[in-house]
Amino acid sequence: MVRSKSKIFAVLALLAALLPAAGAFADEVNIYSSRKEALIKPLLDRFTEQTGIAVNLVTGKDGALLQRLKSEGMNSPADLLITADAGNLYRAKAAGVTQPFVSEALTASIPETYRDPEGHWVGLTLRARPILYAKDRVDQKTLSTYEALADPAFKGRICIRSSDNIYNQSLVASLIAADGLEATETWAKGLVANLARPPKGGDRDQIKAAAAGECDLAVANTYYLAGMLKSQDPAERAAAEAVAVFWPNQDGRGTHVNISGAAVTASAKHKEAAVALVEFLATPEAQAWYAEANGEYPVGEGVALSPTLAGWGPFKADDLNLGRLGELNAEAVRLMDRAGWR
């Protein structure tokens, strides 16, 4: 059972003790965010309330925000870029629109795996991308690894979104890092041969397709499943309840994970305040709010999980430094194209 909204805001109330008194900064922070306003604004409001730092939020698509930062150059008003997927953070770094920053608090609270090796970005929330299976048609004992999804036994049984999706590109990049280019291309061709239908829609659509019997397995981020379980739409809740989570590669490298994260822009005029905001978003209480409200895993250790996340059980996560996902992105895209993954 998911906690009530009153409990969510009770978690927010605990944040006050970790922040300096109001008026400690006479400043502001300007954010470009691909995260929807509802998924972050309550925390930004709390930050402003406790520090006196005004937060100005502009939301948009990942690609559009990156293009805006490139076009504006050093005249950009943005101090922070908040976006989903290490691949997008890598692209921003490669485009020269971010800068390195140092924070002892972030180094202490966020594992190295979820930080850029050169200090350009840090992870704020963790997203797992496991295999979801139809409870009434699949014995979880038949499941094992991502690599096994290319087995002919799964022919016509898999749903996954298209190759232009950054989540899938990062998954393939992680496989290249683990198994090598040749083996991963063979795997991708086998996966395409096992698809129940041409890729279409988002992660929620893959879950709905599995529930409806269009496929037996779906590859999707768990926070979409968490959102569906809390949906006001009975049909969406029913679809989510029809599938279960399987954590692949538990006897090896672990399940593929990614992040939403933050980078200080190269043009930042309020760098100190921007770093203070990132530190705030990485506090245990803020991490707990993300887990409760958004269905995302904390990046740090020892943070309470929501009942929904806890109900899926513990899992071993791949400890690949997520900077590698960005480095291997272009290779992953070319590989997916050669495999016929559209």
For 256-310, what is each residue's pLDDT tens digit?
Answer: 999 999 999 999 999 999 999 999 999 998 999 888 888 999 998 888 898 999 9
Q: What is the pLDDT of residue 138?
A: 98
| Structural domain spans, the chain | 5-126+258-306, 128-255+322-338
User: Known binder of ligand: residue 114?
Assistant: no
CATH class of 128-255+322-338: alpha beta
Q: What is the pLDDT of residue 22?
A: 36
Q: What is the pLDDT of residue 291?
A: 86
CA distance linking residue 282 with residue 15, whole number of Å = 11
pTM (predicted TM-score): 0.89
The correct answer on CATH 2.60.40.420 for the domain covering 5-126+258-306 is no
| Percentage of the chain modeled with pLDDT above 70 | 92
pLDDT band at 1 (very low <50, low <70, confident <90, very high): very low
CA distance linking residue 84 with residue 262, whole number of Å = 9
Q: What is the pLDDT of residue 38?
A: 84
Relative to beta strand 80-84, strand 243-246 is unpaired
CA distance linking residue 293 with residue 290, whole number of Å = 5
Judged by phi (left if over 0) then psi (alpha if -120 to 50, else beta), residue 85 lies in left
User: Known binder of ligand: residue 32?
Assistant: no
Q: What is the pLDDT of residue 260?
A: 94
Relative to beta strand 121-128, strand 54-59 is unpaired
SS (H, E, C) the chain: CCCCHHHHHHHHHHHHHHCCCCCCCCCEEEEEECCCHHHCHHHHHHHHHHHCCEEEEEECCHHHHHHHHHHHHHHCCCCEEEEECHHHHHHHHHCCCECCCCCHHHHHHCCHHHECCCCCEEEEEEEECCEEEECCCCCHHHCCCCHHHHCHHHCCCEECCCCCCHHHHHHHHHHHHHHCHHHHHHHHHHHHHCECCCCCCCHHHHHHHHHHCCCCEEECCHHHHHHHHCCCCHHHHHHHHCEEEECCCCCCCCECEEEEEEEEECCCCCHHHHHHHHHHHCCHHHHHHHHHHHCCEECCCCCCCCHHHHHCCCCCECCCCCHHHHHCHHHHHHHHHHCCCC
- Amino acid in position 44: L
Structure token digits, residue 170: 């990062």
Q: What does pLDDT average to over the chain?
A: 92
311 pLDDT higher than 90: yes
150 pLDDT higher than 60: yes
pLDDT band at 25 (very low <50, low <70, confident <90, very high): very low
Segment 100-108 shows an average pLDDT of 96
pLDDT band at 13 (very low <50, low <70, confident <90, very high): very low
Structure token digits, residue 243: 């599938």
Residue 218: strand pairing partners: 132, 159
In terms of C-beta density within 10 A (0-12 exposed, 13-18 middle, 19 or more buried), how is residue 206 classed?
A: buried
